[in-house]
Chain A
Amino acid sequence: MSISRLTRMLLLAFLATTLANQVLAAGESVRITVGSKSFTESVILGDMLSQLAQSTGIEASHQQQLGGTRVLWNALLSGEIDAYPEYTGTLMKETLVKENLQTEAQLKQSLAAHGLRMSRPLGFNNSYAIGMKEALAARLKLRKISDLRYHPELVLGFGNEFMDRADGWPGLQQRYQLPHQNVRGLDHDLAYRGVESGTLHVTDLYVTDAEITYYNLHTLEDDLDYFPAYNAVILYRADLEQRAPEAVTLFKRLAGRIDAQAMRELNARVKLNGEAEAVVAASFLEENLALDIDLQVKTAWQRFWQHTREHLVLVGISLSAAILVAIPLGIVAARYAHAGQIVLGIAGIIQTIPSLALFVFLIPLLGIGGPPAVVALFLYSLLPIIRNTHAGIRDISPAIVESAQALGLPSRARLRIVELPLATGAILAGIKTSAVINVGTATLAALIGAGGYGQPILTGIRLDDTGLVLQGAVPAAVLALLVQGVFELVERRLSP
């Protein structure tokens, strides 16, 4: 029967992808993982850390541009990553704000209680600042942040983190009594482009951002001393001192080596000159720590294949599992009206959870990387398949169902011989919808370190590099079309 052939095919696909994943995950010896936030400075520092660890002979990987401080902090606590670059202000005013820490000594103590260590400051204070185009500031005679109070007509746009953080916009608005209603949250790097184009007037800056001089931005004076010091430090797990003592020693050598000017230049080399972060990081280490960094820069093709493989594994496993689970659920839903309402209701609710939120919810349970991404994609793929299986079976005319009953066919045989074959078209359409959603949503998995085509998209957004964005977006779109085509072929072969 055609439907059992389909099930067998899907089962095979599922096993194959699971196996592939196991092979990919194999060869895991003692290694350390470094994380970084999704802005250039953090990625450069993350590359430095992984290169330092590698120079001691340890296998080190770098989970680039994870989606936000909370993701990194949780990943560090759970041991998913071993170290990442952080800022003291962020720790005191955001991550550990409830502990009301006043000094760096207190901060160190609190971190120790979490099983974490902090290096001495690297040498620069990458504070937040509030900035706007120099010409506009001059025209409106704005010098200080408190001057903004008299210009409620200005459009403010802040990086997403800044919008929500305790030490971000909510506190700033309160401290300065700012009247602005028109405030938008957007990606930090996109905010610069908004300011340049004039759609935004005021944004948050990181003082080491290379764009400040590039875009001729004026930094408003923090006249009420709102922003704390954001001294860059390296945050790492205490157990790293036993597992990789040499790497920790090298990490510590970075302390005091990077001043604000040096950091701004490193940022500029990546963002304005288009050099790779790894190259910039390596040259800094070679010049300043006299280390010989063996850089293995992947070619564009190697990166493409890696992203393709990652994407296919994410989609393959999550979709196969979803098919295996959702079709039986759809059948149950069609058979038992009551259970059906519950199943469809739950699947519908899952679908309404924003994808990024779902990814982040799963991190405490499954860590970062592939597993939470696969689970999230699996959950998203359920609804269309369940709903179409349910509808496909329910839409069969009662005359046909009753004829099958009257012949004396038992329930399972009716399902196999009559109902599933007649619902095949609807089920395949559901799978097709799920597959296309899955391929698209999987691009967000890069935010939690699962790689895939989302990786070049993220980097492209960060670096304002449309070409790089397209390197992720075009293959993702092609893959979606391909998947759709494959299912259309299957559909044609299975339909009578």
Chain B
Amino acid sequence: MLILSCVSKRYNDTIVLAPTDLHVPAGETTVLIGPSGCGKSTLLRLIVGLIQPNTGNITLGGTKLEPANLLNMRQRMGYVIQEGGLFPHLAVRDNVTVMARYLRRDADWIAHRLADLAQLVRLPMNLMSRFPAELSGGQCQRVSLMRALMLDPELLLLDEPLGALDPMIRYELQQELKSIFAKLGKTVVMVTHDIAEAAFFGHTLVLMREGRIVQTGPFKALARTPAESFVTRFINAQRGPMEHLAKVLQ
């Protein structure tokens, strides 16, 4: 589905991503995880073409990503960022449909699609005429997801989509997102630094550190057969508080 071969990125002398190979299988959720500055967001931004790699190729469904076909390729991807990135001067409806309208899709089709997506992310239709400033953080992320899904992309890219939400809303949205992904059968690449979230969503986890991939595999594989001691340290760092919590509750 999505194949990165030998993709690297550096700024002047700083290597932010060493030559990297990655294969993202269709219909699954692949989670990029690792400490801040490990290159996971860079990887995502390379895929969506916001930055250009210094070496290597990225292919999506057999088509190589190139500056010339960038605009078309982006229409085959949906991209959601932490704060939503909604256009503040456009109503929710216009935010979601902006690209479809630019492509002059049929108005009825657009209206139907909008209604379907609103139902999917469980937003009432009367919210569609509000502006982003009038929405809660969780609602913003739902709208952002609608916008990303509008053109029914093959690939969904999410950069810390729940990072800015408070824990309860975050929990609620985690459940919903997972069921949406399952329902749509989309290929998803998600970035997070929360190991529990990664384990919850990811069929495959890609643990990164200092610009390179340390280990790829399901959470269980990472936990049981760590490729190096960093893997265990990374997992344990977030396990501590939870085990403490579990003890208290017992």
A residues sitting closer than 8 Å to B (CB atoms) are: 399-400, 402-410, 413, 417-418, 421-422, 496
Contacts and interface: CB of A to CB of B under 8 A. Distances in A.
B207 to A, nearest CB: 25
A336 to B, nearest CB: 17
Given A408-B99, A409-B102, A418 B79 contact: no
B85 A496 contact: no
Given A399-B81, A402-B81, A405-B50, A410 B89 contact: no
A400 B88 contact: yes
> Per DSSP, are chain B's interface residues mostly helix, strand or loop, or mixed?
loop
B212 interface: no
Contact of A402 (B50, B73, B99): B50
A399 B75 contact: no
Contacts of A399: 81-85
A409 B99 CA distance: 7
A408 B85 contact: no
A400 B85 contact: yes
A404 B74 contact: no
A218 to B, nearest CB: 72
A325 to B, nearest CB: 25
B86 A403 contact: yes
29 contacts: A399-B81, A399-B82, A399-B84, A399-B85, A400-B85, A400-B88, A402-B85, A403-B79, A403-B81, A403-B85, A403-B86, A405-B49, A407-B74, A407-B75, A407-B79, A407-B98, A408-B74, A408-B75, A409-B98, A409-B99, A409-B102, A410-B71, A413-B102, A417-B102, A418-B87, A421-B89, A422-B87, A422-B88, A422-B89
A407 B77 CA distance: 8
> Per DSSP, are chain A's interface residues mostly helix, strand or loop, or mixed?
helix
A422 B81 CA distance: 20
A417 B87 CA distance: 10
A409 B150 CA distance: 14
A405 B99 CA distance: 11
Please list the 9 inter-chain residue pairs (A to B) with the smallest Cβ-Cβ separation, ordered nearest first: A403-B85, A408-B74, A406-B79, A408-B75, A399-B85, A407-B99, A496-B89, A408-B71, A406-B48
A405 B84 CA distance: 14
Contacts of B87: 400, 403-404, 417-418, 422
A407 B100 CA distance: 10
A235 to B, nearest CB: 62
Contacts of A417: 87, 98, 102
B147 A407 contact: yes
Contact of B77 (A406, A418, A496): A406
A407 B88 CA distance: 16
Which of B48, B72, B102, B147 has the largest count of A CB atoms less than 10 A from its CB? Answer: B102
Interface in B90-141: 98-99, 102, 131
Contacts of A418: 87
Contacts of B85: 399-400, 402-403
Which of B48, B74, B87 has the largest count of A CB atoms less than 10 A from its CB? Answer: B87
Contacts of A405: 49-50, 74
B107 to A, nearest CB: 17
Contacts of B147: 407
Given A403-B79, A403-B81, A413-B102, A408 B89 contact: no
Given A406-B74, A406-B77, 5 more contacts: A400-B88, A407-B79, A407-B98, A417-B87, A422-B87
Contacts of B89: 421-422, 496
A409 B75 CA distance: 9
A403 B77 CA distance: 12
B131 A496 contact: yes
Contacts of B83: 399
B149 to A, nearest CB: 12
Nearest to A418: B87
A404 B99 CA distance: 9
Nearest to B70: A408
B72 A408 contact: yes
Which of B50, B72, B75 has the largest count of A CB atoms less than 10 A from its CB? Answer: B50
Contacts of B88: 400, 422
A408 B81 CA distance: 15
A422 B98 CA distance: 15
Contacts of A496: 89, 131
A408 B99 CA distance: 8
Contacts of B48: 406
A409 B74 CA distance: 9
Which of A399, A403, A409, A418 has the largest count of B CB atoms less than 10 A from its CB? Answer: A403
Contacts of B72: 408
A399 B84 CA distance: 8
Contacts of B99: 407-409
A406 B71 contact: no
A414 to B, nearest CB: 10
A409 B87 CA distance: 13
Contacts of B75: 407-408
A496 B50 CA distance: 29
Which of B50, B83, B89, B99 has the largest count of A CB atoms less than 10 A from its CB? Answer: B89
A207 to B, nearest CB: 69
Nearest to B72: A408
A348 to B, nearest CB: 30
B62 to A, nearest CB: 19
Nearest to B85: A403
Contacts of B81: 399, 402-403
Which of A404, A417, A421 has the largest count of B CB atoms less than 10 A from its CB? Answer: A417
Contacts of B102: 409, 413, 417
Contacts of A413: 102
Interface string B45-78: 0001110000000000000000000011111010
A120 to B, nearest CB: 74
A405 B50 CA distance: 7
Contacts of A400: 85-88
Contacts of A404: 87
A60 to B, nearest CB: 57
A4 to B, nearest CB: 15
